[in-house]
A and B are shown apart, each in its own frame.
Chain A
Amino acid sequence: MAAPVVVVAETIYGGLTPASLECVEEARDVAESLATAVHVILPGHQTAALADELAAHGADRVTVIEHQALAQFSADGWLAAVAPVLKETRAVFTLAPDSGYGRSWLPRLSARWRIPLASACIRVKVTDEGYPEVFRVSHDGKLHERQIWARGTAVMVMLWPGVRGVGPALPGRPASVTVVEPELDPATFRDRTLRTVPPDPHDVDLTEAERIVSGGLGVGGPEGMALLQQLADELEAALGGTRVVADRGWLAADRFIGTTGKIVAPKLYLALGVSGAGQHVAGITGSETVIAVNTDRTAPLLKLADLGVVGDLHAVVPVLIRKLRTLRQAAQAAPAVRPALLDPVIRTPVAAAAGRPRDASAREALP
């Protein structure tokens, strides 16, 4: 068998990161053009059950590096654990997500082994003549570079998350799984992660928020924004708004959405008293689900929303908050049965009750 295409996968909250699955699928495409195999290295603690998911996205071989000291990320730990396994694979391509974790250890191996490393890549391929080739972004996304190496050069690639997207899983694809248990001494790790914390909706950057409650001129004043803040807390959402609201001082200046403010792409965007001027709508086009409440039935945002409500937010929101509270109390009275978490993750009770979909899938993958 020819030298494989290797992926080093990452986990969060006991599940694979979407960026890791993107790498596996990109590796699948490269491996097919080279007629070779995809070999995934998965360092962690009690992660062997994730091998099936890796196989379903294109892995042919999975090497699980199992050690208690790898339960939380440590750059020194990853270097000590992954380097020997990675070296033995004699990879022709090594792919890893371009994440903060990856950037703290993979470049060190590239310097040690004198293997070129391209980061911020959006595409990896082999040219028809057999040269390794990558496309990467530079200058804050203003330029794309095509980089190429001599035929047969082993190359390390860090793939920019979210560009490729994750395709459908093919359950039942077979992969050979090996578990290695290296000798590691966590006392020699100079850096360690103590815990992983989900975002706090109050201070998460709006561009990273999964849910946003946003207010427009219709909120009428600081009291209206305080009402929206209550609603945002009930929905575990971040609070944003339009430029007019920020200009009047009802909202922090770094939390307005639109062409001159933040460009957001949440899963849920709840707009209250926002008419939907072009400058604002341009900042929310990436939103998956939009709900709009406005007194004006001709407001443009009502036509763009998945659910539009013609009504006064000052009447609707208090009722909505009250109903959400009743629902939450009912849910808390009958606690849902949840499997124990492996990661020592801090979780607010509200977060657990709302059950973020990503966490739910991560838990399902566990034994």
Chain B
Amino acid sequence: MRLAVCLSLVPDPATIDVDPLTGEIDADRTLYIMDPADAAALELALRLRGEGDTVIALTVGPAAAEPVLREALAAGADGALRLWDESRSATKPAVTSLLLATALRNEGLPDLVFCGWRSLARGSGKIPALLGEYLDWPVVTDIARLEIQAARVHFHRRLARGDRSEGEVTMPAVLAIAADGVRLRYASLPQLMQACRTAIPMRDLPDLGLSPLDLSFPASTVHAVTPPRPRPRTIFIPDSSLSPHERIGQILSAGAAPKSNTVLEGSPDEVADAIIAFLQARGFLEQPA
């Protein structure tokens, strides 16, 4: 089986310092890391690799993005490939996924492509689906766990508030991994030294057989970048049947029930009853019939 992993080098959020006036990131202070979601995808691919299987790491980026591939090689990837269009300073998700899809076709299509579910950079989360579209493959997003069963992948998908769904997808497929607890394995020193000496092949547009016209997509303009300003949530409208005095009280408390802050003392039996009554009153336990 041939596995491909798409990696990206992203700014470490802990080192991002935003100028409150211009909204620009202080580039001097930013450190770059392999995207944690991509690292989890790489680790899962390496764990799945059996006898005779290969794992190839790909990235789209300038020469400065090479460390992410060396890290993958040191962790045990069998090959690495960098894709870039020298005329660009940055790529949009559509361009990134088109470059990846073309390179995968040229190099021989793998059986599975692994991606992170969303990057820590601009974080569109669109690349897996776009890659699936350009390869005409099925796509599964937000995979927390997976297992290969014959020509199918059985997966657990992460939904909101801790819900999970189980499903399956035929191979070949694009898999977007959202396995939070999975960390990339440590590389041994000899592997690290070896990876540092390896020359990383690069493909640009002519190598891939693409014309710059293939990469022109409808333009959007990023007009402003600002430090985050939380948006007010729609939570509450005062009850118009109440008196003005009560409505003002409701508005001032933003509709939140005031904290009752009852403090109880008593025998264990009494306080246990009080806790259960409280849980029942707040709807956490069913009321006794």
Contacts and interface: CB of A to CB of B under 8 A. Distances in A.
Interface of A: 12, 17, 19, 25, 72-76, 98-101, 103-108, 110-112, 114-120, 122-123, 133, 135, 137-149, 153, 161, 163-168, 190-199, 204-205, 208-211, 235, 254, 267-268, 289, 291, 293, 297, 302-312, 315-316, 318-320, 323-324, 327, 330-331, 334, 336, 353-355, 357
Contacts of B288: 327, 330
10 A-B pairs with least C-beta separation: A199-B162, A100-B142, A165-B233, A190-B138, A107-B129, A208-B162, A191-B169, A140-B13, A193-B167, A308-B263
B225 A168 contact: no
Contacts of B275: 291, 307, 309, 316, 320
A144 B276 contact: no
Counting chain B CB atoms within 10 Å of each CB, the highest count among A76, A123, A166, A309 belongs to A309
Given A138-B123, A139-B121, A315 B268 contact: yes
A140 B120 contact: yes
Contacts of B176: 103-104
A140 B161 contact: no
B88 interface: no
B125 A289 contact: no
B7 to A, nearest CB: 17
Interface string B270-289: 01111110110011111011
Contacts of A107: 93, 126, 129-130, 133
A309 B265 CA distance: 6
B260 interface: yes
A98 B278 CA distance: 36
Contacts of B234: 25, 164-167
Contact of A98 (B125, B137, B164, B263): B125
A147 B122 CA distance: 12
Interface in B211-230: 217-218, 220-229
B78 interface: no
Interface residues of B, number: 90
Contacts of B16: 139-140, 142-143
Contact of B160 (A99, A192, A331): A99
Contacts of A309: 263-265, 271, 274-275
Contacts of B120: 139-140
16 contacts: A17-B160, A73-B165, A75-B139, A99-B159, A104-B176, A106-B129, A108-B129, A117-B126, A140-B123, A143-B23, A148-B220, A209-B162, A235-B279, A289-B282, A307-B278, A334-B289
A306 B94 CA distance: 50
Contact of B227 (A123, A143, A297, A315): A143
A355 B285 CA distance: 8
Contact of A119 (B124, B159, B227, B237): B124
Counting chain B CB atoms within 10 Å of each CB, the highest count among A108, A118, A168 belongs to A108
A204 B162 contact: yes
Contacts of A302: 263
B181 interface: yes
A306 B169 contact: no
A349 B207 CA distance: 60
A148 B169 contact: no
A191 B235 contact: no
Interface of B: 11, 13, 16, 18, 23, 25, 93-94, 117-118, 120-126, 128-130, 132-134, 137-142, 157-170, 173, 176, 178, 180-181, 217-218, 220-229, 231, 233-235, 237, 259-266, 268-269, 271-276, 278-279, 282-286, 288-289
B268 to A, nearest CB: 4
A161 B158 CA distance: 14
Contacts of B94: 111
A74 to B, nearest CB: 8
Nearest to A357: B283
Contacts of A353: 286
Contact of B168 (A106, A194, A199, A331): A194
A54 to B, nearest CB: 16
Given A73-B167, A291-B275, 19 more contacts: A76-B138, A104-B176, A107-B126, A108-B139, A120-B125, A139-B120, A141-B228, A143-B23, A143-B228, A144-B225, A144-B226, A149-B220, A208-B162, A304-B259, A309-B264, A310-B265, A316-B275, A319-B272, A331-B286
Given A12-B159, A145-B224, A291-B275, A195 B142 contact: no
Given A105-B129, A199-B164, A327-B276, A139 B261 contact: no
A57 to B, nearest CB: 11
A315 B286 CA distance: 24
Counting chain B CB atoms within 10 Å of each CB, the highest count among A107, A305, A319 belongs to A107
B159 to A, nearest CB: 7
B161 A208 contact: yes
Contacts of A305: 259, 261
A119 B125 contact: yes
B218 A114 contact: yes
A147 B220 contact: yes
A104 B261 contact: no
B13 A306 contact: no
